């Protein structure tokens, strides 16, 4: 009998803006009931349609900073308008202990911080089929100025240089193919030897004798 450990594992997915990592994560979550999303904490105001504990955990800047001092986060960052975003350690650990595989879509700096604390997490980097296609995707969004698109494009080159910090790379050319590749990686991870909790193949003499007398 082979018994794999019940505890889930953390899946960290990164990639440059426009690579399609968010769409891939959404597809994975819809198709796999044992896959659950990590919920971040933020100090930005809650929007009317957002649900506490589902979209984000909302808190004050003062509380967030106290939590930083208490090592409450796996990683955190300051972004727009000096607002904090972070990944609560306990939320992730509780979901893993419950047997869920936790997916976390995060930037490269955040992934590096998490890797310092959780080495056995699974790190997947999503790439566009080409830098030309990445530029086209950013332009087609039509939501940002030319200056911001150029900044994102330059950042993408820097991020791709960090690819050696990840376990796998998936090129997102055709979405369904990319999702299928990530799913294959997740299946392979469940078959790793170090995920076996108990291995009992029975006594050799007893098994041989049982076969002979049938």
Per-residue model confidence (pLDDT) at position 24: 96
pLDDT at 146: 80
Picking from 6, 29, 7, the residue whose alpha carbon sits closest to that of residue 93 is 7
Give the total residue count for the chain: 214
Q: How far is CA 27 from CA 12, 31, 139, 166, in A?
A: 15, 6, 23, 21
Strands (E), 2-78: 2-4, 10-14, 35-37, 41-42, 57-58, 73-78
User: Would you state the structure tokens that stand for residue 136, as one six-digit string?
Assistant: 């086209």
Q: Which pTM does this prediction carry?
A: 0.83
**HEC assignment per residue over 156-194:** HHHHHCCHHHCCEEEECCCHHHHHHHHHHHHHHHHCCHH
Q: Could you list the mean pLDDT of each consecutive 10-residue stretch along the chain, which spans 214 residues?
A: 74 92 94 92 93 94 96 90 91 93 92 89 94 84 77 84 93 96 92 69 62 54
Q: What pLDDT was estimated at residue 135?
A: 83
C-beta separation of 76 from 85 below 8 A: yes
Output the pLDDT for position 210.
62
- The continuous run of DSSP H or E covering 24 comes out as helix 21-31
User: Measured between alpha carbons, how far is 110 from 59 in angstroms, rounded to an integer?
Assistant: 20
Two tokens at 65? Answer: 């900073």
Contact 41, 50 (CB under 8 A): no
Q: What residues does each domain of the chain span?
A: 2-37+100-213
Listed in sequence order, the residues at least 6 apart from 137 whose beta carbon sits closer than 8 Å to its beta carbon are 18, 20, 128
Fold of 2-37+100-213: Rossmann fold (3.40.50)
């Amino acid at each position: 009998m082979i018994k794999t450990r019940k505890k889930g594992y953390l899946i960290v997915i990164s990639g440059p803006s426009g690579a399609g990592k968010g769409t891939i994560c959404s597809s994975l979550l819809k198709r796999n009931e044992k896959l659950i999303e990590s919920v971040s904490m933020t100090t930005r105001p809650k929007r009317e349609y957002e649900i506490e504990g589902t979209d984000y955990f909302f808190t004050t800047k003062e509380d967030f900073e106290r939590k930083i001092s208490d090592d409450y986060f796996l990683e955190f960052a300051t972004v727009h308008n000096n607002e904090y975003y972070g990944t609560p350690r306990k939320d992730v650990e509780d979901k893993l202990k419950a047997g869920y595989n936790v997916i976390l879509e995060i930037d490269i700096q955040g992934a590096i911080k998490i890797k310092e604390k959780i080495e056995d997490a699974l790190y997947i980097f999503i790439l566009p089929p080409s830098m030309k296609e990445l530029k086209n995707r950013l332009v087609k969004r039509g939501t940002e100025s030319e200056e911001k698109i150029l900044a994102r494009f330059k950042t993408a080159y820097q991020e791709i240089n960090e690819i050696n910090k990840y376990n796998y790379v998936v090129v997102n050319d055709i979405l369904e193919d990319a999702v299928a590749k990530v799913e294959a990686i997740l299946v392979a991870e469940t078959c790793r030897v170090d995920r076996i909790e108990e291995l009992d193949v029975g006594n050799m003499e007893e098994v041989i004798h049982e076969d002979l007398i049938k």
